Structure 1
Amino acid sequence: MHTLLLFLGDIPWWGWILIVLALVAIRDIFVQRSHTISHNFPIVGHLRYFLESIGPELRQYLVANNREELPFNRNERGWIYASAKKENNYEGFGTDQDIYSHQYIFVNNAMLPFKVPPGHPNTTDKHFLPCAKVMGAYRQRKRPFRPGSVINISAMSFGSLSAKAVESMNLGAKKAGAYHNTGEGGLSPYHSMGADVVFQVGTGYFGVRDKNGNFSMKKLKKMVEEKPFVRAIEIKLSQGAKPGKGGVLPAKKITREIADIRHVDMGKDVLSPANHTAFSSIKELIAFVEDIARETGLPVGIKAAIGKLDQWHELASLMKETGKGPDFITIDGGEGGTGAAPPSFADHVSLPWVYGFSDVYRIFKEMDIADRIVFVASGKLGFPAKATMAFAMGADCINVAREAMMSIGCIQAQSCHTNRCPSGVATQNKWLQSGINIPLKSDRLHQYFDTFRKEFLEVTHACGYEHPCQFTMYDVDISVGDRNLTQTLAATYKYNKVKVPFESMEKLKECPHLGGSNKNEA
């Protein structure tokens, strides 16, 4: 043994490297049977797997150009980061966009922009931009709600996102006067930091379910009574990432805190089914909406990704016939993606936002009831130009998810489904979460929302309007290619937006209807 130790002690450092490489080669050839490349090319075969594992990072930082990446390119992410940090988000030397590309958006500015008069709300607050419509006003709900901001946080559950990420967003939404949608994972303490909240009722009824997993009106009423900051209820029918598919939260990911919030058992996989058990037809859906509205007094809406339209025709027809139904409708684009999904769903099931929204809005317009509904848009719309298009088509608010994540530090690592999110935003790993500075990140989300609203207002004023609700389908052109060159939204999607009743920003300030930072009854 003494001789062996002396021998080993005489081996130089490079000799140890050769020994390790020899052992790896022996393992590759004679032991492992999983990887053909490693067997046929011992040692060097591992380099291939390593490069493959860091391929997304190599493309993101070294290979792809500024406009090439998906789902958000470098310029889009850079604008969000700079806006959130209150840095210079301008670009110089002209656009590097291919302005002749298919589906390119052109906003039609006015010869004479809107002039903000002295004493106007936007002279003292360049970020004041509430929703022009009131959720629940048409059906005279007991507690109608006007969102205090046209940009709000979309549905993202605690469990999908980390506690610190959710808390940062809620505090940021409070500062910005925006609302925060809970997602289907229930109302957590991290959603309860002061912002207005839209509580989402998903197919698993998490947070409002009985012991058998069925919906409990008693629990929902109790929550609404105890949490007055819950301002509206959203029934999730489907989401853009995976419409028509349920989900599973593995037992190993369920902490005691998550179990208590979702009202589920420890040690068991938690199923989020594809279907609701509280209703199974359009008539029953309307009845469910009305039951919740009557019992809670809150506006009630639905959220869905769009595919077949026959049931939307049925919904609109019944709403016109009965005068009942949802107070708001959230249309989620198929390009949505905070929920992990199989590629077959994420890539192909449901329409992109612009096609889905135009199809649904046109149905309600033809039924002459579009004015009864607050339309909420969701699907990569967290940029002023895209929001302009959405409002011109009939949207009254937009919800942002990934844009909000990026404002608090998400780097688009696309590892949300692995529990190894490097920025701590989409993971339950305590160490990875520890890098999130909640006061700082909440300020950044607040600043992103403020910058968005300021620039959105500037685009609005450039087009001669005071509020984005005044945009029409003739204010935006789309490049459609071939000999048609460009067409207005009206010509492209074959309808005209219904005019939104609007007097002035001053009137909105005088009658905020409970939204945002001003909670005075109107």
Structure 2
Amino acid sequence: MQTTDNFNTVTNLMPVLFVWLLGLIFAVVVLTFIFDVTQSKNAVLRNYPVVGHFRYLFSNLGEFFRQYFFAMDREEMPFNRAEREWVNRASKGKGNTIAFGSTKNLNIPGSTIFINCPFPMLDSDAVETRTVIIGEGYSEHPYAAKSIFNISGMSYGAISKPAVLALSAGAKKAGCWMNTGEGGLSPYHLQGGADLVFQIGTAKYGVRGEDGHLDDQKLADIAQHDQVKMFEIKISQGAKPGKGGILPGVKITTEISKIRGIPKGIDSTSPNRHIEVANASELLDMINHVRDVTHKPVGFKTVIGHIRWLEALLTEVNKRGVQSAPDFIAVDGGDGGTGAAPMALMDNVGLPLKEALPLVVDKIMQCGLEDRVKVIASGKMITPADVAWAICAGADFVTSARGFMFSIGCIQSLKCNKNTCPTGITTHNKRLQKGLDPTSKALKVANYVDNITKTVEVIAHSCGVKEVRLLNRTHVRIVQIDGKSIPMDELCPLCVEGENK
């Protein structure tokens, strides 16, 4: 009986509640109308009060609808659905076979086509990809790098604590290295147990003295960690060539402030170059100084604009002696990615990797330093074909940042600079970080590296070579503007001492 009475009461109240709801909606509309017509900052809202708000709503929702409903598998930028799905399946350890033919348009200029051998290499004849030793004979602690595919620089600060833990532990499982990015060495980099490359950015986070120069004692302390295998001096990066790193104040927590040595909650912008380095000769001085202090291999990362300054650096190396050379050069494409960068630089400055990498490799060979200076390729390479192309072009190693972000759950929501990343990767919001479990994601990182490596080996064997490092420019063709392809060794012939070889 009481239940019936309660039901009748609720039923009687419903018309009243409905009227109140309509009244509330009407009040909100009226207040919005008054606000819109009286404000002077937005012309659309003033001319079209209330309904003008729908423009901004639909504009924000458009990104979502394009990604999930309207864009074809190969249409999206910077990475399309087909590429992201490959990484997703690879990180889960699932099969990556497809059916009914390729959806990739091979007539687009710049596309790569690998040249299959009529008598490919049998699995029984294949050999393990050889280890490359960086700094051998020129550093007290050279680094024997086993993996061709490694994690590129992502700072703690730009990415979250659970993301760093997942990547570091995953790199340990996979046997690849992890670059710390310019944000300094955090305990979470060390906790995972991976081999680390410590990046020295222009702000020198973690190794900066009060005068803004390198603090040798802090540098030596970093080098004491056995996990830190190499040091990378960042000259420039793909998304911000000619400008230092940017970390929005909303992402600078108390801990990040302490690690980097910067104020909490205030935007941190690195200088656009190292204050000690104004020319190629001074860059060599800095490289050798860091090597003398750390006793470990040292190289630099750069985006290529023109090749003349690199030629001047390598010429200076030959004058001083090969012992003065950088142990490696990391080449980043001008279309690289980052958490926060000016659109004008990201879109328009610096050579893409596909043009820059062969130029750098050729210049090193022309100067006779190919056995001394190792080359690391970085920039939008997340699939096996990308990695195989880079090895063909002359790279010794490939590093990727966004590929590994996809492996731990990135959905390309493009919120990296807003501290609102829905997957917890690039946010310090504790609630959003809860969705990222470092333990399970570490396994995905290891699966991703394993599947990249195995599939690059498949490409190498299809091209008729026993191991990946035997791939060269004769094994790949590049599609030209007329839709026809040209062998890469003809398009970019290796030139050594004036002779084509």
TM-score over 0.5 (shorter chain): yes
Provide the rounded CA distance (Å) in 1 between the counterparts of 2:134 and 2:200: 17
Matches for 1:65-76 after TM superposition, within 5 Å: 65-76=72-83
2:187 to 172, 186, 189: 189
Question: 1:454 matched to which residue of 2?
Answer: 454
Asked if the contact 2:179–2:196 (Cα under 8 Å) also holds between the matched residues in 1, the reply is yes
What code does the residue aligned with 1:14 have? L
Question: 1:167 matched to which residue of 2?
Answer: 165
Asked if the contact 1:393–1:497 (Cα under 8 Å) also holds between the matched residues in 2, the reply is no
Matches for 1:333-412 after TM superposition, within 5 Å: 333-412=333-412
Alpha-carbon spacing, 1:497–1:112, altered in 2? closer, same or farther (3 Å): farther
Question: 1:292 matched to which residue of 2?
Answer: 290
Provide the rounded CA distance (Å) in 2 between the counterparts of 1:413 and 1:270: 23
Shift in Å, 1:264:
3.1
Asked if the contact 1:197–1:230 (Cα under 8 Å) also holds between the matched residues in 2, the reply is yes
2:112 to 97, 105, 122: 105
Provide the rounded CA distance (Å) in 1 between the counterparts of 2:386 and 2:350: 20
Figure out how many residues of one structure are paired with residues of the other and give that number.
Answer: 480
Provide the rounded CA distance (Å) in 2 between the counterparts of 1:338 and 1:112: 43
Shift in Å, 1:23:
2.5
Provide the rounded CA distance (Å) in 2 between the counterparts of 1:223 and 1:16: 61
What code does the residue aligned with 1:459 have? I
Question: 2:34 matched to which residue of 1?
Answer: 26
Asked if the contact 1:460–1:468 (Cα under 8 Å) also holds between the matched residues in 2, the reply is yes
Shift in Å, 1:450:
0.7
What code does the residue aligned with 2:219 have? L
Asked if the contact 1:215–1:278 (Cα under 8 Å) also holds between the matched residues in 2, the reply is no
Q: Secondary structure at the match of 1:204?
A: coil
**Aligned-residue identity in percent:** 37
Provide the rounded CA distance (Å) in 1 between the counterparts of 2:360 and 2:327: 15
Provide the rounded CA distance (Å) in 2 between the counterparts of 1:10 and 1:353: 61
Alpha-carbon spacing, 1:497–1:479, altered in 2? closer, same or farther (3 Å): farther
Residues 405-448 of structure 1: CA distance to partner in whole angstroms, max 9, x if unpaired? 01001100111111111111111111111110111111111111
Provide the rounded CA distance (Å) in 2 between the counterparts of 1:150 and 1:9: 66
Q: Secondary structure at the match of 1:134?
A: strand
What code does the residue aligned with 1:305 have? V
Q: Which runs of 5+ in 1 are unaligned?
A: 1-6, 123-128, 499-522
Provide the rounded CA distance (Å) in 1 between the counterparts of 2:19 and 2:123: 80
Provide the rounded CA distance (Å) in 2 between the counterparts of 1:111 and 1:261: 55
Question: 2:4 matched to which residue of 1?
Answer: none
Residues 58-114 of structure 1: CA distance to partner in whole angstroms, max 9, x if unpaired? 111111111000100000001001111122322110101112221121101111221
Shift in Å, 1:262:
1.3
Shift in Å, 1:216:
0.8
Shift in Å, 1:492:
1.3
Q: Secondary structure at the match of 2:273?
A: coil
Q: Secondary structure at the match of 1:329?
A: strand
Q: Which runs of 4+ in 1 moved over 4 A?
A: 7-10, 265-269
Asked if the contact 2:247–2:340 (Cα under 8 Å) also holds between the matched residues in 1, the reply is no
Asked if the contact 1:84–1:407 (Cα under 8 Å) also holds between the matched residues in 2, the reply is yes
What code does the residue aligned with 1:114 have? M
**What TM-score do the two structures reach when normalised by structure 2?**
0.91
Provide the rounded CA distance (Å) in 2 between the counterparts of 1:62 and 1:383: 24
Residues 381-407 of structure 1: CA distance to partner in whole angstroms, max 9, x if unpaired? 221112111111100110010010010
Alpha-carbon spacing, 1:310–1:296, altered in 2? closer, same or farther (3 Å): same
Asked if the contact 2:250–2:419 (Cα under 8 Å) also holds between the matched residues in 1, the reply is no
Q: Secondary structure at the match of 1:469?
A: helix
Q: Secondary structure at the match of 1:360?
A: helix
Q: Which runs of 5+ in 2 are unaligned?
A: 1-14
Shift in Å, 1:281:
2.2
What code does the residue aligned with 1:382 have? I
What code does the residue aligned with 2:19 have? I
Question: 1:513 matched to which residue of 2?
Answer: none
Shift in Å, 1:371:
2.3
Alpha-carbon spacing, 1:150–1:497, altered in 2? closer, same or farther (3 Å): farther
What code does the residue aligned with 2:29 have? L
Provide the rounded CA distance (Å) in 1 between the counterparts of 2:247 and 2:402: 21
Matches for 1:142-181 after TM superposition, within 5 Å: 142-181=140-179
Residues 239-272 of structure 1: CA distance to partner in whole angstroms, max 9, x if unpaired? 0001111244455543221122113344655341
Asked if the contact 1:67–1:75 (Cα under 8 Å) also holds between the matched residues in 2, the reply is yes
Provide the rounded CA distance (Å) in 1 between the counterparts of 2:295 and 2:118: 46
- RMSD (Å) for aligned C-alpha atoms: 2.1
Does residue 1:60 correspond to 2:55, yes or no? no
Provide the rounded CA distance (Å) in 1 between the counterparts of 2:116 and 2:249: 54
1:36 to 36, 43, 53: 43
